[in-house]
Structure formats: structure tokens, C-alpha cells
Amino acid sequence: MGFYDDYNFDGLKFFSKLQDKTWITVSKPCQKFLSVINQLKTSSTLTVAEVGIGFGATALQVLKMLRTDDVYYAFDFEDRLQDFASDLQARDFGITCEVVLAGNSHNEWDSYNWNLSNMIFRMRERKQAGIFDAVYLDGAHTFLHDGLAVCLLKELIKDGGFLILDDLFWRYSNSKLGQKHSGGRLTREQMEDYQVLRVQELFLSNDPNFEKLSPPNAYRGVFRKRPR
């Protein structure tokens, strides 16, 4: 039984996949991210982000939790975000927060990192000390993409904010979809490696500015940026 079986997604292009049994493993929202947002809701306003929104399982629940003055950023491919936005407009889900779409093309060397880097430039110009209260990274699952993403997000997250990394123990060799899209791009070692875990251990676990909140061997890494 899927998490969204009781929802009516008939006629919707993006969210309808949440009721496709083929994708049942990715139709459940990230409860850790929802828990973090619920914890932060005592703040006056929140700005949160998802990097890679999948089929919207987590996004929909987050959007329903956020308030009118809160802001939600979605980073993904432009065409996917357009379908996502169209479904949000077509159906009343009771969403009141501001939704910002940060899409990138399917060009091979393009990714969400370009948009993240642009945000840092704007943030520095405005002399801001961070933008996001919480970020859920569920992106390409490659060291190439998510290693840079974490380095960028570390600056974009406010003091006291949270960063959650998904799929620490996912690898391309165990996924039919991963094998299909990684052919000719990854070595055998890279296919077998837990690349998101590698990112965590290189850029977060030994960073004194971040506190690790997740237990050892957890499937998701949860970190909090220490207040200055």
C-alpha cells in the first residue's frame, strides 16, 4: 500500500507517479526532513529546499506544512519542475507558502549546482549569512554532483540550520535505473561505491562547523550547522 493511495491524482502529470506501484519505494516522504521542519516551525519564517524532488512525495508534504510567509525552493530539471508547478496549480492541495523553482537543463554538464552557486553570489552581495533553514539533498547520487552540492550548501545553510543527505548506502551497481543512466560514465569502482556516503565522510563528518545528528550506519545523514 502506497503512502498516497488515498489521494486523488487523476489527470495530473507529475504527482500521478506516486500511485504507480512501479515506484512505490520512492512514494514515501522523507520523515526526517518533515520532522526537522516541524521542529523549526517555532521560527518566525522558514526557507527550506529540496535538491532533487523525485516524484514529489516529500515536496507535497513539506508544502502542506509550510505557512504563508515561508518559502520552499525546488531544484531539479526544468521540465520536471514545470510539470510539478502545473499540478500544484491544477489541484487545490491547501498550499499557501511561496514556491521557488530553480530548474536546470538536461545538458550533460549542467546541474543544480549552477543555480546553487548563483544563490551564493547573490547572498554574498546582500551580505546575508545563509539562506536556508533546512535542505534535503536527494539528487544525482554521484560524487561529481553531490560533492560540489554539499560544499555549496554548507555556505547556503544558516547557522543552526539542517542538511539531510539521502541514500548514503545506495550504489549504481544495485540499481537497474542507475546502470541504465551510468553506462560509460562511471568506472567499476565508482559503480560499486556508496558515493553519497563518500561525500558525507569527506565534507561533513570532520567539519567542526557541523554537528552530526544521525547514528552510525543510518541510511540518511543528518547534520546541523553549529551556531556561531
Write the pLDDT tens digit of every residue in 180-191: 767 778 899 999
pTM for this prediction: 0.94
CA 202/CA 35 separation, integer angstroms: 26
CATH number of 15-225: 3.40.50.150
Mean pLDDT for the chain? 92
157 CB neighbour count, 10 Å cutoff: 23
CA 177/CA 191 separation, integer angstroms: 12
Identify the bridge partners of residue 163 per DSSP, sorted by sequence position. Answer: 135, 223
Cα dihedral 164/170/171/176 (nearest 10): -120
- Identify the residue whose cell numbers are 551556531: 227
pLDDT tens per residue across span 118-155: 999 999 999 999 999 999 999 999 999 999 999 999 99
Question: Of all helices (H) and strands (E), which one includes residue 116?
Answer: helix 112-125
Question: Of all helices (H) and strands (E), which one includes residue 102?
Answer: strand 98-104
SS3 185: coil
CA 83/CA 189 separation, integer angstroms: 36
Residue 16, pLDDT score: 87
